[in-house]
Amino acid sequence: MRHGESTANYDHTFTGWSDVSLTAKGKADAHEAGRKLNKTGIQFSDAHTSYLKRAIVSENIVLDEINQLWIPQHKTWRLNERHYGALRGKNKEQVKQEVGEQQFMRWRRSFAAVPPRLQEVDPKRRYQTAGIQEPPAESLKMAYQRLIPYWQDEIVPKLIDGKNQLVVAHGSSLRALIKYIENITDTGIDGVEVHNATPIIYTFNHELQVVNKELIK
């Protein structure tokens, strides 16, 4: 599930690795998503989220609603949103006017385009602890390359064991994951949108092919 509406979503600003909060609506929508998920009766063995509080708080809200706050929760920078580089904090409408619709959508939706890079990146304790440096910017492809090893190493073995996994992340980090899970082409991913606080339930067979996909609206 993508996190609920953030303050940056509300303001229509590029976010990426900026650690913004949920709005009151974002929290309410995460509660509602949790209540709907509860009706499915799914029992999770683990939950996975990013280092960013909009996803962490959304995950906690969902786990609270489904009465599974007790399960192990794993946090990783690999599930962080794609880093929007020097676009972060900028108003999306304003950037569109400055660079034109085509370039704007290329930065936001194409697989390979890298947004303008940050000149300097302040070291942050959370990434130092993880032994990495915050990147100056990431394309969706770069986000895919750092995210998929986590999926393969930490999530797939548990799924193979028949254990349901909850992943709460971000619009573009989930687009990267969906690309991998559904084997979507580099150009096909342009059209994939992931909505806030709307769980997607995948059912896999033993070869980890998707046998069912359901959106909980």
Ligand X SMILES: O=C(O)[C@H](O)COP(=O)(O)O
Q: Which is nearer to ligand X, 66 or 189 (CB)?
A: 189
* Contact positions with ligand X (CB under 6 A) in 179-208: none
CA atoms within 13 A on the CB side of 199: 24
Residue 172 interacting with ligand X (CB under 6 A): yes
Residue 138 interacting with ligand X (CB under 6 A): no
Give the residue, chosen from 1, 4, 5, 16, that forms a contact with ligand X under the rule CB under 6 A. 16
Residue 84 interacting with ligand X (CB under 6 A): yes
Q: How far apart are CA 143 and CA 137, in angstroms?
A: 10
Extract the annotated binding site.
Answer: 2-9, 15-16, 54, 81-84, 92, 108-109
Q: How far apart are CA 94 and CA 175, in angstroms?
A: 24
Which range of residues in 61-69, 147-155, 164-172, 197-205 is near ligand X by CB under 6 A?
164-172
- Sequence-distant (6+) residues with CB within 8 A of 43 are 68, 164
CA neighbor of 62 nearest in space, from 89, 29, 96: 29
Beta carbon of residue 74, minimum distance to ligand X (angstroms, whole number): 21
**3-class state of residue 168 by DSSP:** strand
Residue 15 interacting with ligand X (CB under 6 A): yes
Beta carbon of residue 160, minimum distance to ligand X (angstroms, whole number): 30
- Is residue 138 annotated as a catalytic residue, yes or no? no
Residue 170 interacting with ligand X (CB under 6 A): yes
Please say whether the beta carbons of 49 and 59 come within 8 A.
yes
* Structure tokens given for 207: 């070869």
* Structure tokens given for 127: 């990434």
Extract the annotated binding site for substrate.
Answer: 2-9, 15-16, 54, 81-84, 92, 108-109
**3-class state of residue 212 by DSSP:** strand
- Give the active site residues: 3, 81
Which residue ranges make up the site for ligand X (CB under 6 A)?
14-16, 81, 84, 108, 170-172
